[in-house]
Copies of this chain bind each other. A is one copy, B any other.
Amino acid sequence: MAEGGAPVTMSDVARLAGVSTATVSRVVNGRYGVSASTIAQVRSAIERLGYESSLVAASLRRTRTNVLGLVTHSFQSYTAEVLKGVMDALTQSGFDLIIYANSDVYGTYSEGWEQRHLTRLSGTLTDGCIVVTPWGEVRTSTPVVVIDPVRDSTVPSVTADNLTGATTAVEHLLGLGHRRIGFIAGRSSLAAAWSREEGYRKALAEAGVPVDPALIGRGDFNPESAAPLARALLERPDRPTAIFAASDGMALKVLEVAKEMGIDVPGDLSVVGFDNIPESALAEPRLTTVDQSMYRLGHEAAHMLKSLVTGEWEGPRQILLPTRLLVRGSTAPVRVATRP
């Protein structure tokens, strides 16, 4: 290794090879119009100096950069899954990936982060971007695919089928005999949160169970927001026999609160989450949840963005991916009615 001095630029190569920078550029990009001997000269100079072209300078002038961007507000465990899916979709595609994360108030949702990140990247650096779970709308001059968009968004997006997933989850609880089913909602501006609530209402409606507004708590997907809501639900005299939380993070908080309050899960309370984050399989009891494959979300989003950039996208601009109910240890048949 060498903590080498100034970075070697294209003009360094040009000088050593005795040609102009234009020629070096042509060689680097394999363009037509350079003689074999000149190519050899330039290549040898590049080799000697250890030159590598600057992504920044190139992207400033070029229209296409063959780099896709991804912006996210934080790195949770599911983010890694998304990234894996994205990378697998990009393998051998010729597109590299740049992920941008800014440093103010990491982990919390500062208004407009997606827009700031996006404009930082999309000016010239990237040909298009994937935005993971934005907090608001996004506008850009290059193609964008959103994973988990906001409600009523018309931006190209990839989402899990939250409606069906939530419906199935609640049907599972109904099938176990539960009738008083609490719900902890996510931030309603997000399409995912809204659909999950719709699924909850739909399943109840189809089973002829009236929706009790008192059993619905309004969280924001942040696990911390769920604790007081769970407590409030469980302290009610007519407390629910089951709780469906709109995210695993919040569901795990429910488990925690129940344990604190001495409520046995799944004996006294059944709990269902949504997402299937890795931690949910580690919980005690293991959490019943709706699996949305983050890997697939990332994979599809990357595939779609790639095609959008090259202009060969034919399919729909809003993709819905199936979900799957994972029945684990946190749900059980309701106890024989103890009501008067």
Contacts and interface: CB of A to CB of B under 8 A. Distances in A.
Interface of A: 1-7, 50, 52, 54-57, 59-60, 74-77, 79-80, 83-84, 87-88, 90-107, 115-116, 119-125, 137-141, 153-155, 278, 281-282
Contact of A75 (B87, B100, B123, B125): B87
A104 B91 contact: yes
Nearest to A51: B119
A51 to B, nearest CB: 9
Copies, count: 2
A56 B124 contact: yes
Nearest to A117: B96
B91 A125 contact: no
Given A1-B137, A7-B119, 10 more contacts: A1-B154, A4-B141, A50-B139, A54-B123, A56-B124, A76-B80, A77-B77, A90-B106, A97-B100, A99-B99
Contacts of A77: 77, 80, 278
A104 B87 contact: no
Given A1-B155, A60-B60, A137-B1, A123 B7 contact: yes
Given A54-B123, A125-B56, A138 B1 contact: yes
A136 B154 CA distance: 46
A141 B98 contact: no
Q: Would you list the 5 A-B pairs with minimal beta carbon distance, nearest first? A: A80-B80, A54-B123, A52-B119, A99-B99, A1-B137
A6 B90 contact: no
B56 A123 contact: yes
Nearest to A83: B75
B92 A103 contact: yes
A141 B141 CA distance: 33
A249 to B, nearest CB: 14
11 contacts: A55-B123, A57-B60, A77-B77, A87-B101, A90-B106, A91-B106, A93-B103, A96-B102, A96-B103, A99-B99, A282-B282
